[in-house]
Amino acid sequence: RRDKKVWKAKNLTQLFEIEKLSLNKEEEEELKSLMVTNLQHFALVCDGLDEGQVDKSSFLWDVIRGKRLSGLRVIVTSRPCEAVADLCRKGAFQRHVQMLGFSPRD
């Protein structure tokens, strides 16, 4: 599954390959350069963090925690799960929004 590959990515190039961005090598290098020099203008959306096998030693986990690509805005969506609880306990989020009104089976 794609989500397992995402957690094994070691860098942006591998994430681009997994997401199958249709970029030639020159476009990919230009995008990476633009992102790295202007991280504050980009957001990485990790939708459904609870739906996959979270690898806490991965590049993506380090990005979510702000250990890599510092300055990149990261948006995480998830149902309550241990990985998100761990991030909250460690103060990884500037903002934590909890949606109320869903039943446990949702």
Contact (Cβ atoms closer than 8 angstroms) between residue 57 and residue 27: no
Give CA–CA dist 87/33, Å, rounded. 28
Structure tokens at 41: 């203008």
pLDDT band at 3 (very low <50, low <70, confident <90, very high): low
pTM for the full predicted model: 0.72
Cα–Cα distance measured from residue 60 to residue 64, given in angstroms and rounded to the nearest whole number: 6
Q: For 69-91, write each residue's pLDDT tens digit.
A: 888 888 888 888 888 888 888 88
Judge whether 63 and 44 are in contact, CB under 8 Å: yes
The sign one gets for the Cα dihedral 102, 106, 47, 68 is positive
Residue 1 reports pLDDT greater than 70: no
